[in-house]
């Protein structure tokens, strides 16, 4: 940033692979991309601020930096607090970081339920999961501890004469989460059919920028959960759709 301010662009192209950078390096690049786009371009930074934020948050939570000095700690603190100031992501800005957190929660959902029911002195379970409403309630509780504005029972606009109610909406992150729970009569074929219909309905909601379907298969009724995830996940469309099944096997 200083070099650009002084008219010196000779340092362009010196930024290495993001995979090799420490958290403090990613913090500097994130601040550069958000506050000094001209400097970022001159330095050869081609990655978006959104991608840098996602990598920064992941690196901070997955690695340690015991030798960080005061200056490095300061820049990391500034970048981290800016990235975290509205939950885990800012509106239309850090959605990948929020989505990574949600994905982790959904994959670990069976473990969350198990631990909630593993109580002292044989006390009654805290989270008996009997139907989709129970799944929705537990998820809302967990997500509300991590994100600022979690809403449920939002109504979609009419699509082909049909309306539906959204299970969970992360308003600021613009992520919709719809839950399914397998049961008698709701096998893999039926789940796939319902998800295909729901996808068109939920994508019409004005706050939907990413759609997540969570299928809780506690009874192992799905014949091929991996295929269900792979066939219905679509991350290349303007409104990406992600399907997560847990437990997967």
* Nearest CA-CA partner of 162 in 204, 201, 118: 201
**pTM of the predicted model as reported, rounded to 2 decimal places:** 0.63
Is the per-residue pLDDT at 54 higher than 70?
Answer: yes
Band (159; pLDDT cuts 50, 70, 90): very low
Of 136, 241, 230, 151, which is closest to residue 198 (Cα–Cα)?
Answer: 241
SS3 content of the chain, % helix, strand, coil (to 5): 45, 15, 40
Cα(64)–Cα(106) distance, integer angstroms? 25
Each residue of 80-93: pLDDT tens digit? 777 665 444 444 44
Q: For residues 96 and 101, what is the distance between their CA atoms, to the nearest angstrom?
A: 9
Three-state DSSP class for 182?
A: coil
For 141, the enclosing helix (H) or strand (E) is helix 132-144
Over residues 4-23, the pLDDT tens digits come to: 667 665 655 566 677 778 88
d(CA 187, CA 222): 6
The pLDDT value recorded for residue 166 is 84
Return the structure tokens found at 90: 């800012």
Q: Which contiguous run of DSSP H or E holds residue 73?
A: helix 70-83
Give the N- to C-terminal CA distance of the chain in Å, as an integer. Answer: 50
Look at 38-42, 70-74, 141-145, 218-222 and tell me which has the smallest mean pLDDT: 38-42
């Amino acid at each position: 940033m200083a070099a650009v301010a002084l008219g010196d662009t000779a340092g362009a192209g010196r930024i290495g692979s993001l995979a090799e950078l420490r958290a403090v390096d990613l913090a500097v690049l994130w601040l550069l991309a958000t506050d000094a786009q001209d400097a970022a371009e001159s330095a050869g930074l081609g990655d978006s601020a959104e991608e840098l934020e996602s990598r920064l948050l992941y690196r901070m939570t997955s690695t340690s930096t015991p030798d960080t000095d005061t200056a490095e700690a300061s820049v990391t603190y500034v970048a981290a607090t800016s990235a975290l100031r509205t939950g885990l992501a800012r509106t239309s800005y850090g959605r990948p970081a929020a989505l990574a957190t949600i994905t982790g929660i959904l994959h670990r959902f069976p473990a969350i339920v198990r631990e909630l029911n593993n109580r002292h002195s044989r006390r009654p379970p805290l989270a008996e999961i009997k139907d989709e409403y129970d799944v929705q309630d537990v998820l809302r509780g967990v997500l509300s501890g991590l994100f600022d504005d979690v809403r449920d029972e939002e109504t979609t606009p009419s699509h082909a004469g049909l309306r539906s109610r959204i299970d969970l909406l992360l308003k600021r992150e613009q992520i919709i989460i719809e839950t399914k729970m397998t049961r008698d009569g709701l096998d893999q074929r039926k789940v796939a059919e319902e998800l295909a219909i729901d996808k068109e309905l939920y994508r019409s909601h004005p706050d939907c920028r990413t759609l997540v379907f969570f299928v809780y298969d506690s009874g192992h009724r799905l014949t091929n959960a991996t295929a269900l995830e792979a066939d219905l996940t679509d991350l290349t469309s303007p409104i990406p759709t992600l399907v997560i099944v847990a437990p997967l096997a």
